[in-house]
Amino acid sequence: MPNRTVLITGASGEIGQALIKSLSGNEFTTLVTVDLKELPEELSGKSKHFVGNLLNKDLLSGLEEEYNFNMIYHLAAVLSTTAEHDPLLAHQVNTCSTIDLLEIAARQSREQSQPVKFLFPSSIAVYGLPDLKTKNRITTIKESEWTNPTTMYGCSKLYCEKVGNYYSEYYHQLADTEPVRLDFRALRFPGIISAFTIPSGGTSDFGPEMIHYAAQGKPYDCFVREDVRIPFMVMPDAVRSLELLAEAPMENLQTRIYNVTSFSFSAQDFKDLAQNSFPGSEIYFKPDPKRQAIVDSWPADVDDSAARNDWNWQPEYNLQDACQEYLLKNISNLYNL
Ligand code: AKB
């Protein structure tokens, strides 16, 4: 296998940490990571880590000068709830940093005369269903349907999908220059549940938060109604789907944007799981109408048949394995239960 240099932004976040663990086992891969924060102790030494803000142009130009990237996992983002508190910041972090990194990838793909792959985690937040009646009527949603996001996070993810596709297919289409060979690929992730880290700033956080609180014996006030249902997957499947899409032969891909999911779960399902697994858990439903409205606009489930057909996507953890084999086992270990 040829040596390759991989950049991961947002490396200290939930997906970033899990991706570093997975990719750092490969002796042919040099990992370069960036985040506002240091990496946790257990990951230090697994990458060349830079602490800094992606909006700092000097940081990016320094990285461009020092490294020739073969692949970029651009994970850094302001998530949906945080983004509604500061939409301008969300725009800057989520879209401006993406354009800057796409520019670097485009230049480097030209200089190296080979494709630079650009992997982008998009989200079910790109969907926007107008009301609960519509949400309940639709069983699964395809990539091309209902892309009317109601959040700044969803808008920025949708824009980045479009612009990533533009950089791969049409960039500088009228200029008399060598075409760039940037290879942008995006996954629309559902809510992601990690057994090792607790999410923050998202609106799908009610599920993982509930389980982690219950395991620690802490009461939890759930900010959505019990009947709220959205798709979820566990972290190992999220990381595996990113790596599978990254490695899929281009000729098999009929699109650059794919839904992926494992199971659809309601807030009440999470409560039942928590109470069966950690008897005595105190979970109360105290919906916040504004956060509630955001998840009401997200689909209850997505159709990931394109990913299944084009690059053999299949989650390793179905609902039962996700709960028993991954979540409860690891969470119990984490909190020494
Ligand atoms: C969020 O809630 O903002 C994210 C997402 C669904 O993309 N977890």
Q: What is the DSSP string of 152-197?
A: HHHHHHHHHHHHHHHHHHTTTTTSSSPPP-EEEEEEEE-EEE-SS-
| Ligand 1 atom 7 nearest Cα | 123
Per-residue pLDDT of the chain (337 residues; tens, 9 = 90+): 679 999 999 999 999 999 999 999 888 999 999 999 999 999 999 999 999 999 999 999 999 999 999 999 999 999 999 999 999 999 999 999 999 999 999 999 999 999 999 999 999 999 999 999 999 999 899 999 999 999 999 999 999 999 999 999 999 888 878 788 899 999 999 999 999 999 999 999 999 999 999 999 999 999 999 999 999 999 999 999 999 999 999 999 999 999 999 999 999 999 999 999 999 999 999 999 999 999 999 999 999 999 999 999 999 999 999 998 999 999 999 998 8
**Under CATH, which number does the domain 77-334 receive?**
3.40.50.720
Question: Where are any strands of DSSP class E within the chain?
Answer: 4-9, 29-35, 48-51, 71-74, 116-123, 182-189, 191-193, 220-222, 229-234, 257-259, 263-266, 283-285
Q: Which atom of ligand 1 is nearest to the CA of 83?
A: 3
Q: Which atom of ligand 1 is nearest to the CA of 79?
A: 3
Q: How far does the centroid of ligand 1 lie from the alpha carbon of residue 11, in Å?
A: 17
- Of all protein residues, the one whose alpha carbon is nearest to atom 6 of ligand 1 is 191
Residues, the chain, total? 337
Indicate the pTM of the whole model.
0.97
Which is the closest atom of ligand 1 to the Cα of 153?
Answer: 3
- Measured in Å, residue 323 CA sits from the centre of ligand 1 at 20
Q: Which atom of ligand 1 is nearest to the CA of 123?
A: 7
Distance from residue 155's CA to the centre of ligand 1 (Å): 13
